[in-house]
Homo-oligomer: A and B are copies of this chain.
Amino acid sequence: MKFTEYAKTYIPNINNTIGMILDKKLQNINITFLKTYYEEIKTYLLVGGKRIRPLLCIAAYNAFSNERDDKIITPSVGVEFLHNASLVHDDIIDKDNFRRGNPAFHYRFQLYHNNYSLKKMNQSDFGNSIGIIGGDTIFFLGLEPFLFNNFDRNLNLGAIKYYEQAFIDIADGVLIETDMVNRKNLQMKDYIEMISLKTGALLEKSILIGANYANTDDDYYPILSTLGINLGIIFQIIDDILGTFGDEKVTGKPTDGDIREGKRTCLLIEAMNSLDVKKRDQLVNLISNSRITDENVEEVKNLFMEADVINSCKKLATDYYQEVVHALEKLTPVIHDSEKEFFENLLKFVLERKF
């Protein structure tokens, strides 16, 4: 089954399940502010989002399970809670007031602050405070799908182990990335390690949680890990390319953000490793500058073009794509055809996407 068909089949049920977890909580609340808080969490979780992680979990379960039942949908939403909780905290850290065209979670509460007459705390601090607690709440609510479902307790405990490991991996990836701005000599292997953790780990764990519930044989786990991690690596490399050389009208994102932030993208690392010493120093000076001008951004882009980074990064993404397609072959004919098609189709989509 194609990725889009899979999405169409399962997304309504995924969204219902997410809504039900919040409704269960909302039922028992009679304090206005708490009601607003959980309503905002519900809205945040239900507006937008491609549900890639629950879909990966469901597909992994269906790939190995002979019972084509819907009971995997409940635990599949746990990883979506984890993903959204991370976004809530990321937006505070990055001071991003908008997400998917809507106000970020903490920003919603900055606006809510206008309702208060007694102002011991300013608007921005109030929004950030509720945002910190909000992210925490979503992390914890994400345990519920593993605690209340129709699977064996043993399988649920296995899933919670992956849930915990997924967060620890993401945090390690984000911390490595934060620290990278301080490092002079960056190799591509450092970048790959960072994005494998930051982006790959949750995709990987989504798949492993699905496989866990299908009682999949241990032998297949390494292949499934490669599937998830490579999907993350390909996604992030293409994201870096589109972040600087994409069509703003299509991606909806400005193409100067990464350069201004001095972000350690694969483009930057490729350029640093292939330019001569003089141009390399020029590049380092440009991106280290805390007051970077529009001309500086153009200069960086020109150095990137000179180093032919788009092609070499696309080549890198294609290598990871081929590795995972090869790995998938090893699962034939163990997994069902429709899920094999889903995984292949999703990988191709992520590699070739323009937005």
Contacts and interface: CB of A to CB of B under 8 A. Distances in A.
A182 B116 contact: yes
Interface string A94-137: 01000000000000000000011111100001101110110111
Contact of A153 (B133, B154, B262): B154
B164 A144 contact: yes
Contacts of A171: 133, 136-137, 140
Contacts of A346: none
Contact of A33 (B143, B153, B175): B175
Contact of A262 (B118, B129, B174): B118
A34 B180 CA distance: 11
Nearest to A167: B140
Work out how many copies of this chain go into the complex: 2
B182 A117 contact: yes
Interface in A217-266: 261-262
B137 A136 contact: no
Nearest to A288: B118
Interface residues of A, number: 55
Contacts of A27: none
A294 to B, nearest CB: 18
Interface in A132-156: 132-133, 135-137, 139-141, 143-144, 147, 153-154, 156
A47 to B, nearest CB: 22
Contacts of A144: 164
A277 interface: no
B176 A164 contact: no
Contact of A93 (B34, B118, B132): B132
Interface in A60-96: 89, 92-93, 95
Nearest to A284: B118
A139 B95 CA distance: 23
A198 to B, nearest CB: 12
Contacts of A129: 93, 178
A20 interface: no
Nearest to A25: B168
Contacts of A154: 153
A348 interface: no
Contacts of A157: 147, 153, 156-157
A95 B182 CA distance: 26
Contact of A136 (B34, B89, B262): B89
Contact of A133 (B118, B175, B181): B175
9 contacts: A31-B179, A32-B179, A33-B176, A89-B136, A118-B288, A119-B290, A132-B135, A136-B139, A136-B167
Given A136-B136, A143-B160, A153-B153, 10 more contacts: A33-B176, A89-B132, A89-B133, A93-B132, A126-B178, A130-B175, A132-B132, A136-B167, A140-B171, A147-B161
